[in-house]
Amino acid sequence: MAESTPRNWAAADQYLADTLVGEDPALAAALTAQRAAGLPDIEVAPVGGKLLNLIARMSGARRVLEIGTLGGYSTIWLARAVGEDGQVVSIEAEPDNAAVARASIDAAGVGDRVAIRIGRAADVLPTLDGSPPFDLVFIDADKESNTVYLDWAARLGRSGTVIVLDNIGREGEIVNADTDDPRVVGTREGLQMLGEDPRFDATALQTIGIKGWDGVALALVL
């Protein structure tokens, strides 16, 4: 039996990506542009991007909200899922990141369905109030604000809206009672909210692979 090591997790993840995701020139170009611009390598893994795409298609999502654009990698996966008449609104705090994302999203041929809103999500989200409800919300930004983002996801959604919350495992740090890392504290507060707030029904899965040991929460807005 194979040893459980980070190298083996990554190799198995790469095998899954090769087998089930395959080569994708537009996404590869987006990652190349992101790296060239010096953005951190913290986008979702290929299998995670495709998971987002499949969840969006399985739930028939036409309006998607993304919190945390980074270089547009996950945005492209989501934009492909909503179809020609769909829309993705993606919020990014860093204007430089948004410029990289904009170019990659346009080059991927889905620019007309993606609106990037530049600013702190806590400031941008209230401006979306009154727009038609979002069918799917992907939260992948500063973990300290997860409860704020979950609250807005419920308010900007409807009964049946799907929420995907990234990075809920954090190498198991979520059970480290002694940590004062605000990202871990924020992650835990978000999970607690998903467990207790009557607006949500949720679960979470740990993931392991080329992005290390982490995880993703899935919630339904009731």
The minimum distance between CB 167 and Mg ion, in angstroms, equals 4
What mask of x and - would describe binding to Mg ion in positions 101 to 140, judged by CB under 5 A? ---------------------------------------x
Distance between CA atoms of residues 179 and 196, nearest Å: 22
- Rounded to 5 degrees, φ, ψ at 147 are -70, -35
Residue (69 or 167) nearer to ligand DHB, CB: 167
Stretch that binds Mg ion, among 9-17, 24-32, 57-65, 167-175 (CB under 5 A): 167-175
Nearest Cα neighbor of 125 from 95, 105, 155 is 155
Distance between CA atoms of residues 103 and 98, nearest Å: 9
Distance between CA atoms of residues 66 and 47, nearest Å: 18
- Cβ atoms < 10 Å from Cβ of 83: 14
- Cβ atoms < 10 Å from Cβ of 131: 12
Helices (H), the chain: 6-16, 25-36, 46-58, 73-82, 95-107, 121-124, 146-156, 182-196
Interface size with Mg ion, residues (CB under 5 A): 3
The encoded tokens of residue 66 equal: 């993304």
Interface size with ligand DHB, residues (CB under 6 A): 4
Residue (135 or 140) nearer to ligand DHB, CB: 140
The minimum distance between CB 42 and ligand DHB, in angstroms, equals 4
Residue nearest to Mg ion (CB): 166
What mask of x and - would describe binding to ligand DHB in positions 64 to 103, judged by CB under 6 A? ----------------------------------------
Please tell me whether residue 42 binds ligand DHB under the rule CB under 6 A. Answer: yes
Please tell me whether residue 167 binds Mg ion under the rule CB under 5 A. Answer: yes
Q: Where in 126-165 is the site for ligand DHB (CB under 6 A)?
A: 140
Instruction: Find which of ligand DHB, Mg ion, none residue 13 binds, CB within 5 to 8 Å per kind.
Output: none
Sign of the CA dihedral with 53 first, then 56, 58, and 63 last: negative
Distance between CA atoms of residues 95 and 70, nearest Å: 10
In the set 146, 166, 217, 219, which binds Mg ion (CB under 5 A)?
A: 166
Please tell me whether residue 167 binds ligand DHB under the rule CB under 6 A. Answer: yes
User: CB of 27 within 8 A of CB of 49?
Assistant: yes
Instruction: Find which of ligand DHB, Mg ion, none residue 66 binds, CB within 5 to 8 Å per kind.
Output: none
Interacting residues with ligand DHB (CB under 6 A): 42, 140, 166-167
Interacting residues with Mg ion (CB under 5 A): 140, 166-167
